[in-house]
Amino acid sequence: MNQHPLRPALDQLHSELARANTADPAEDLLLDLQRDTQALLEQIDQSHELAAHPDFRQRLADAMLRFEVSHPTLTAAMDQVADVFNRVGI
């Protein structure tokens, strides 16, 4: 069975979000992204498909701007997810 192309990038983002949330547990945007990422991973596991998620993409773009300096590793993981979304046309 082929793995969905977003799976590795989402796994990495989920890990980075968990680390960032430990450092800054009051950050609502990070918590929202972590929940969204978990939901996307579950969707991939259940259906092996992924539909468009404009709200997630917007939160991701907002977070990339907001955390670019303070969380560079997290921002790199976000950028990777955004890149895969673009490549697969979601």
Question: pLDDT per residue over 38-47, tens digit each?
Answer: 999 998 888 8
pLDDT at 49 exceeding the cut of 80: no
Domain membership of residue 2 (yes or no) is no
pLDDT at 50: 73
pTM of the model: 0.83
Q: What one-character-per-residue DSSP string does 20-43 give?
A: HHHH-TT-HHHHHHHHHHHHHHHH
Residue 42, domain member (yes or no) = yes
For 6, list phi and psi in degrees, rounded to 5.
Answer: -85, -15
Q: For residue 1, tell me if it sits in a domain.
A: no
Is 64 within the bounds of a domain? yes
Number of domains in the chain: 1
CA distances to 5, 27, 45, 49, 71 from 2, in Å: 9, 35, 12, 11, 32
Contact 28, 85 (CB under 8 A): no
